[in-house]
Amino acid sequence: MSAAATTPLDRRSFDLAALSTAVVIALHMPHLPWWLGAPLMLILGLRWWQRRNHRAHAPAWLKLPLLALLVLAVVEQYGNLFGQEPGTTLAIGLLVMKLLETETVRDARVGMGFACFALMAALLFDQGLAATGAVALGLLPPLATLRSLEPGRRVPATLWRELLPGIALLAIALPLAMLAFLLVPRLSSPLWGSPNRSEQRSGLADSMTPSGFSQVLLDDSPALRVSFDGPPPPSGQRYFRAYVLGFYDGTSWTADRGIGGQPPASLQAAGTVRYRVSLEPTHQRVLPSLDMPLAAPADASLLRDRVIVADKPVDSLRDYSLTSATHYLLEPQPGRGQARWLQLPDGFDPRTLALGRSWRRQQGDDNAAIVRTALALFHDGGFRYTLAPAPLGRDAMDDFLFGTREGFCEHYASAFTLLMRAAGIPARVVTGYQGGYWNAMGSYLLVRNSDAHAWSEVWLAGRGWVRVDPTAAVRPQRISLGADAATPGQLPWYENGWLQSLRNRWDIVNRWWNLGVNGFDALRQRGLLKPFGISEVETSTLALLLAASCVLAMLIGLAWVWRKREPEDAALAALHRLERKLARMGVTRRTSEGPRDFLQRAARSLPAQHGRLMELMHHYLELRYAHNEPKTESLRALQRGVRDFPVSRVVK
């Protein structure tokens, strides 16, 4: 049995192990269920208190029930033990369980190795700059714990000083980490497989239910970033198309499945803009595009309703370039299947349908007048924009139009589209994003999830599909100034303008991180040496470069260690030089012989050099034993004497 398996763990090392475990739990807390994260922290605290005050083992009868309870809790929460979130949660729980039995050096080493693995698992959920920095700092306690387990080390006075050497270790490892990042071949798919769709944060989807948008509108995380070839379009034209919803069942709007496989609707463009989108992972196939896209990028398709869908879900940061028309005629001639855009639910919202039909009787064939009548209703009818509307009943649109008269974009788009269909005008709901923050410093448009928006499109003869945003009739600031102006005080970051500005500027750093780190894929890696005239790098070349870089790093490390080695004593160095000269003359120093005895014997063996050797012996003994600090004059005299000492004859 090794010594580490039986060596007891001292108090300082256990404190560091408990701190390491607490850091791991804290970094995973955002995606842990609170009822599981809080008990794990409590168990950790009780274990630390129990060992610190009683130095007793955790009772064996407690460990097995806690382990069984952990497994049952994970299965109850996630339905199984496999997948990104359940696997990570189980790993963190097992780390806490390991601390219950950590009493020896070997236990601590195993636990800290597992703690480092659990820390890396946090990057499966967030690979942003802040999260990566937090994980890097989180490595300090495990490194300090492992260092504290080294035998014969000097224990620092405070716990804080235990953490300082870890910073130096991370700094030394950084160049090697950068080399590995650049040169280790990229995989075509994630190492851990595709994330579980059910575990992802909610966002835009191919269905919409009144009040279902509220979670998205309160999510202020970035959704996409857009850079333009030239000046950005004005705020009123920043509509990013995602889903077209055509079927309404009285409760929800869903995408029309009947348009798949059909060619895109005809488009006459009057003005175009080129731009590049950096889309955050959505785990969906749709690629938002500025209204109205002319074509789809590579590995994507353009559907009948001009919605772009990728060939596979967007599970990582995706960049794509597009060209869109800012002024256009979309399908100016009636297309096939126009009847689907007039579909109405059976047995729902009778008052809303009756109102739309009355407008048709009043306005006759003037569809544009009917549109203006509906917008005037929203503008002058006492409607209010809010993210916290009153709940609606079975006939949701009747309750909204004739009762509550408060809501946000999806309420107004739903009601307007239903009114148009009741009046006999083809109409549909479009969801996506509108607005965004123009970051002048970074020259890109930042669109957040809170910029999610819903609007309508109506088909008018000779004009085709025309975008109509009924929300603008109620709250024009939502379109001209963005989501923050439309909902003052309802989004926490918008309550302080300087905080919002600071965060938007910080997003520049996040964008650079996404482009340089998260966006460094296999394609960019193959073009790594383009500046040196190599168009594409093969895997073998990358491996050779990695090996050469590692060898170079090792040589630099060895040179640094050699340079930082303990300097040899100058007097001792002079004595060693004299010993080498005497050895060539046949007088070698014996293993048990001191400097004085050796030089006296050499003087007897070399009578011609007797005086020189005795003088050198006195210089050395004076330097070594007569003074705390050697005199410079004596040291130079010794060095000079050794240098000038002649090698004359060899003793037979």
Per residue in 334-360, pLDDT (tens digit) is 877 788 899 999 889 999 999 999 999
Distance CA 217, CA 200 (A): 16
Residue 239 lies in a domain: yes
Number of domains the chain contains = 3
Q: With a cut of 60, say whether residue 489 has pLDDT above it.
A: no
Residue 203: phi and psi, rounded to 5, are -155, -155
Residue 557 lies in a domain: no
Residue 220 shares a structural domain with residue 136: no
Residue 483 shares a structural domain with residue 612: no
Contact between residue 306 and residue 330 where contact means Cβ atoms under 8 Å apart: yes
Residue 368 shares a structural domain with residue 462: yes
pLDDT tens figures, 251-272 = 899 987 655 567 898 999 888 9
Helical spans, DSSP H, in 195-269: 214-217
Residue 249 shares a structural domain with residue 364: yes
Q: With a cut of 60, say whether residue 94 has pLDDT above it.
A: yes
pLDDT tens figures, 144-156 = 888 888 876 666 7
Residue 42 shares a structural domain with residue 139: yes
Residue 114 lies in a domain: yes
Whole-structure pTM value? 0.66
Residue 214 shares a structural domain with residue 95: no
Contact between residue 150 and residue 275 where contact means Cβ atoms under 8 Å apart: no
Question: Which residues have CB under 8 Å from 55's CB, separation 6+?
Answer: none
Distance CA 471, CA 451 (A): 13
Residue 485 shares a structural domain with residue 596: no
Q: With a cut of 50, say whether residue 183 has pLDDT above it.
A: yes
Percent of the chain with pLDDT over 70: 84
Distance CA 48, CA 19 (A): 9
DSSP β-ladder status, 452-460 and 444-448: unpaired
Residue 543 lies in a domain: no
Residue 340 shares a structural domain with residue 447: yes
Residue 308 shares a structural domain with residue 452: yes
Residue 542 lies in a domain: no
Query: With 0-12 CB in 10 A as exposed, 13-18 as middle and 19+ as buried, what is 581?
Result: middle
Q: Tokens representing 290?
A: 């500025």
pLDDT at 484: 59
Residue 311 shares a structural domain with residue 416: yes
Percent of the chain with pLDDT over 90: 27
Residue 323 lies in a domain: yes
Last residue of a domain, one of 490, 523, 550: 490
Q: With a cut of 70, say whether residue 117 has pLDDT above it.
A: yes
Question: Which residues have CB under 8 Å from 583's CB, separation 6+?
Answer: 589
Distance CA 156, CA 212 (A): 56
Residue 112 shares a structural domain with residue 245: no
Helical spans, DSSP H, in 29-158: 34-54, 60-78, 84-100, 105-121, 129-138, 140-148
Residue 119 lies in a domain: yes
Distance CA 278, CA 227 (A): 9
Residue 453: phi and psi, rounded to 5, are -150, 155
Distance CA 579, CA 602 (A): 10
Residue 328 shares a structural domain with residue 433: yes
Contact between residue 102 and residue 12 where contact means Cβ atoms under 8 Å apart: no
Contact between residue 84 and residue 32 where contact means Cβ atoms under 8 Å apart: no
Residue 314 lies in a domain: yes
Q: Tokens representing 424?
A: 């006999």
Last residue of a domain, one of 435, 462, 490: 490
Contact between residue 1 and residue 61 where contact means Cβ atoms under 8 Å apart: no
Question: 175: part of which helix (H) or strand (E)?
Answer: helix 159-183
Question: Which residues have CB under 8 Å from 548's CB, separation 6+?
Answer: none
Distance CA 525, CA 186 (A): 8
Cα dihedral sign, 330-333-336-339: positive
Q: With a cut of 70, say whether residue 652 has pLDDT above it.
A: no
Residue 384, Cβ neighbours under 10 Å: how many? 12
Least Cα distance to 503 among 105, 257, 222, 166 occurs for 222
Give the domain extent around 472: 207-490
Least Cα distance to 249 among 349, 318, 124 occurs for 349
pLDDT tens figures, 194-244 = 444 444 444 678 888 875 565 566 677 889 999 999 899 998 899 999 999
Last residue of a domain, one of 152, 167, 186: 152
Question: For residue 373, what are the β-bridge partners?
Answer: none
